[in-house]
């Protein structure tokens, strides 16, 4: 499953704020119906933190600008290269520390 970021910064902030407000609403209601805002709040907070919305993916919708998308892709490539270098360095260290 391809979970690339498809939410822009403003979208993520709004989702996070609305999610937290829904949690407070659920605490205020505190009855059997409070589960509904809790479920929506968890979904909104998760998508806010991850930057990925499955519904956006289904609708082929994206709130990221082209520049933001390129910056995220560049950052991901840099992180992948860094992880690969770290893995290679650890393998090399393990080989050199083996007895015999």
- Residues 6, 38 within the same domain: yes
| Domain around 81 | 65-100
pLDDT over 70 at 2, yes or no: no
Most distant pair of Cα atoms in the chain: their distance: 68
The total domain count for the chain is 2
- Residues 35, 7 within the same domain: yes
**pLDDT per position as a tens digit, 8-56:** 899 999 999 999 999 998 888 888 888 888 999 999 999 999 989 989 8
- Residues 56, 69 within the same domain: no
> Distance between CA 1 and CA 15 in Å, rounded?
23
Q: What is the chain's length?
A: 100
The pTM assigned to this predicted structure is 0.69
- Residues 78, 55 within the same domain: no
As a whole number, the mean pLDDT across the chain is 88
> Distance between CA 64 and CA 67 in Å, rounded?
8
> Distance between CA 55 and CA 77 in Å, rounded?
26
> Distance between CA 33 and CA 28 in Å, rounded?
11
């Amino acid at each position: 499953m391809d979970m690339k970021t498809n939410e822009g910064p403003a979208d993520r902030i709004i989702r996070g704020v609305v999610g937290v407000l829904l949690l407070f609403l659920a605490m205020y209601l505190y009855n059997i119906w409070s589960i509904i805002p809790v479920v929506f709040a968890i979904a909104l907070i998760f998508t806010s933190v991850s930057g990925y919305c499955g519904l956006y993916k289904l609708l082929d919708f994206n709130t990221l600008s082209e520049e933001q998308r390129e910056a995220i892709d560049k950052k991901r490539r840099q992180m992948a290269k860094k992880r690969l270098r770290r893995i290679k360095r650890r393998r090399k260290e393990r080989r050199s520390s083996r007895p015999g």
